[in-house]
Amino acid sequence: MGWQRQAHGSSVQAAIEDAAKKVTGEDVVVYAAGRTDAGVHAEAMVAHLNITKEMTPFRLMEALNAVMRPQPISILDCTVVSDDWHARFSCTGRRYIYRIVNRRAPLALDQGRAWRVVPSLDHEAMHNAAQIFVGTHDFTTFRSVHCQSASPIKSIDRLVVRRFGEELEVEVAARSFLHHQVRSMVGCLVLVGEGKWSADDLKAALDAKNRTALGFNAPPDGLYFVEATYPN
């Protein structure tokens, strides 16, 4: 069900917390740099937990991974941080990549790990239009109705669209994001790539500051959380 613990299904947070309980005997809460939706992937999520049990970081990593097998969750590294460090609130930047496979043939190895788009996409038009999003804007149009952020105003630091053969990669970096913001932006950029929208249509949707102006919300399959950055 994504990162956050849910009463109606399994989640990454619950899996790690339950494993930590078995390893340490302590009730812990795991805090992450971001909260990914169901179907979204993370290659480099950063999270923290507080424990009193004396363990080396390596032993904790090994123990958590052993308990969580065979779930598709891996602790790649552990380290000790200061008491005032927080995975979410100390984070100064987050980066996502969205994968699109642009072909007619169905996905095989990438099933559930990318978005297949059949019509030919103009990635250069998508990249050029994407620069409309760079900077500080009111992203109400690209915000889920369930978003809990106090403000719709966010600053996009970088948004790049690249093609590698039949695959397109949309990379976006910012300090923080609204709920569904990346998927909503990607969905509309695909409309540009298909020739259904122009860059002016994209700007009009942004300026509308209204969710009803959204063209399309991309599925979660292709979205990857790939980096969280911290001072020093």
> What backbone torsions phi and psi does residue 18 show, to the nearest 5 degrees?
-65, -40
- Among left, alpha and beta (phi > 0; psi -120 to 50; other), residue 45 is beta
Q: How far apart are CA 76 and CA 62, in angstroms?
A: 9
- Cα–Cα dist 116/102, whole Å: 6
- Please name the amino acid found at residue 208: A
Q: Considering Cα of 19, then 22, then 23, then 28, what sign does the dihedral take?
A: positive
Read off the tokens for 96.
């996502």
CA distance 172 to 154: 13
Question: Is 122 one of the catalytic residues?
Answer: no
User: CA 55, CA 29: separation in Å to the nearest integer?
Assistant: 17
Count of Cβ atoms closer than 10 Å to residue 30 Cβ? 19
At residue 228, the 3 state secondary structure works out as: strand
Choosing from 37, 110, 138, 201, which is the catalytic residue?
37
What are residue 19's phi and psi, to 5 degrees?
-65, -40
Whether the CB-CB separation of 154 and 181 falls below 8 Å is answered with yes
Identify the burial level of 45 via C-beta atoms within 10 angstroms of its C-beta, where 0-12 means exposed, 13-18 middle and 19 or more buried: buried
State the catalytic residues.
37
